[in-house]
């Protein structure tokens, strides 16, 4: 993995962990997603307009179709993630989702994109699985019932992460859709699809904005920026490198959950996050 891709993904990880912390502090749900989609569209409109003019970008039907499907996948991901945060701890849902996502994405990249793992990559997969198991509670998973909903939603989020990673990789590296324009289009799709819900639940939207406007604004800035960086790295770097390295945010998310939100089982989850991080590094060697 070259230095530029590494720096892009590490910066993305910091932004990703931070906006997830902000999301945990809100009520969550579709109202939150619609709000930060709308704000993201407004915040990044000047940049997108400049890029379209300067780079003479023409949005053909193929580009628009790729954006539309990406928007659907990301919407499913965001809504499932918000539901997971409502029923589970950040330091459980976040690392479990972010740990299983790259593992599944790497397997999909091998099968669908023809990427070939090294022995380090195979060892890394085993470490990732072990780290995820430790973060999620280890053997206590089989004894504790109140975490099961959070676990199920976290695993489902991991599936969506793998799906959008493979889809978006093909879009920006094979079809050469400009990364920022591509994800901006996906955000517009999300906002349009959620608008009927927002209209019907306008009081919820209004309450979310009145009580968490700073958090919503922060998410609207950091969430797209985080993924813009990842998409840029995916243009010239394989999924089996980028997807695992994204999960350096897992350790940050676990630390934030245990120290800033006072969530339980901090030590065990941090140990698991370190094991997971070792697997991530091995996957990318």
Does residue 25 sit in helix, strand or coil?
coil
**Backbone φ and ψ of 201, nearest 5°:** -120, 45
**Backbone φ and ψ of 25, nearest 5°:** -80, -10
- 140 CB burial (10 A radius; 0-12, 13-18, 19+): exposed
Domain interval for residue 108: 3-284
**Residue 227 CA: distances (Å) to CA of 6, 52, 155, 252:** 14, 19, 20, 17
According to DSSP H, which parts of the chain are helical? 3-24, 30-54, 61-87, 90-112, 119-135, 148-173, 179-200, 202-236, 239-246, 248-259, 266-284
Number of domains in the chain: 1
Q: Is the dihedral of CA 224, 125, 155, 250 positive or negative?
A: negative
What per-residue confidence (pLDDT) applies to 98?
75
Q: Is the dihedral of CA 40, 42, 45, 46 positive or negative?
A: negative
**pLDDT per residue as tens, the chain (285 positions):** 778 988 899 899 889 888 988 888 887 788 999 999 999 999 999 999 999 999 998 889 999 999 999 999 999 998 898 888 888 877 678 777 877 888 899 889 989 988 887 888 788 878 887 887 787 677 765 555 556 788 899 899 999 999 999 999 999 999 999 999 999 999 999 999 999 999 999 999 999 999 999 999 999 999 999 999 999 999 998 898 888 878 777 667 666 766 666 666 567 777 887 888 888 788 667
What per-residue confidence (pLDDT) applies to 278?
87
User: Do residues 223 and 249 lie in contact, with contact meaning Cβ atoms separated by under 8 Å?
Assistant: no
What per-residue confidence (pLDDT) applies to 96?
79
Going by C-beta distance under 8 Å and a sequence separation of 6 or more, which residues neighbour residue 83? 28, 29, 153
User: Do residues 59 and 177 lie in contact, with contact meaning Cβ atoms separated by under 8 Å?
Assistant: no
What per-residue confidence (pLDDT) applies to 205?
95
User: Do residues 272 and 125 lie in contact, with contact meaning Cβ atoms separated by under 8 Å?
Assistant: no
């Amino acid at each position: 993995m070259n230095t530029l891709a590494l720096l892009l993904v590490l910066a993305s990880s910091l932004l990703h962990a931070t906006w997830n912390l902000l999301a945990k502090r809100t009520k969550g749900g579709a109202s939150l997603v619609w709000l930060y989609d709308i704000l993201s569209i407004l915040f990044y409109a000047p940049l997108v307009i400049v890029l379209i003019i300067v780079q003479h970008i023409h949005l053909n039907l193929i580009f628009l179709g790729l954006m539309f499907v990406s928007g659907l996948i990301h919407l499913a991901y965001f809504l499932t993630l918000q539901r997971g945060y409502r029923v589970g701890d950040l330091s459980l849902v976040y690392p479990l989702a972010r740990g299983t996502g790259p593992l599944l994405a790497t397997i999909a990249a091998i099968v669908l994109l023809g990427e070939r793992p090294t022995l380090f990559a195979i060892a890394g997969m085993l470490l990732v699985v072990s780290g995820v198991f430790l973060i999620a509670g280890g053997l206590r998973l089989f004894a504790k019932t109140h975490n099961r909903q959070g676990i199920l939603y976290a695993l489902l989020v991991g599936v969506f992460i793998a799906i959008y990673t493979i889809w978006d990789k093909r879009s920006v590296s094979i079809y050469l859709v400009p990364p920022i324009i591509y994800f901006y289009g996906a955000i517009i799709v999300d906002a349009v699809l959620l608008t009927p819900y927002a209209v019907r639940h306008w009081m919820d939207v209004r309450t979310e904005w009145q009580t968490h406007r700073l958090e919503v604004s922060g998410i609207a800035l950091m969430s797209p920026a985080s993924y813009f960086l990842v998409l840029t790295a995916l243009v010239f770097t394989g999924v089996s490198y980028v997807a695992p390295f994204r999960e350096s945010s897992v350790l940050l998310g676990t630390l934030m959950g245990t120290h800033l939100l006072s969530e339980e089982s901090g030590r065990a989850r941090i140990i698991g996050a370190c094991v997971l991080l070792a697997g991530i590094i091995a996957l990318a060697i």
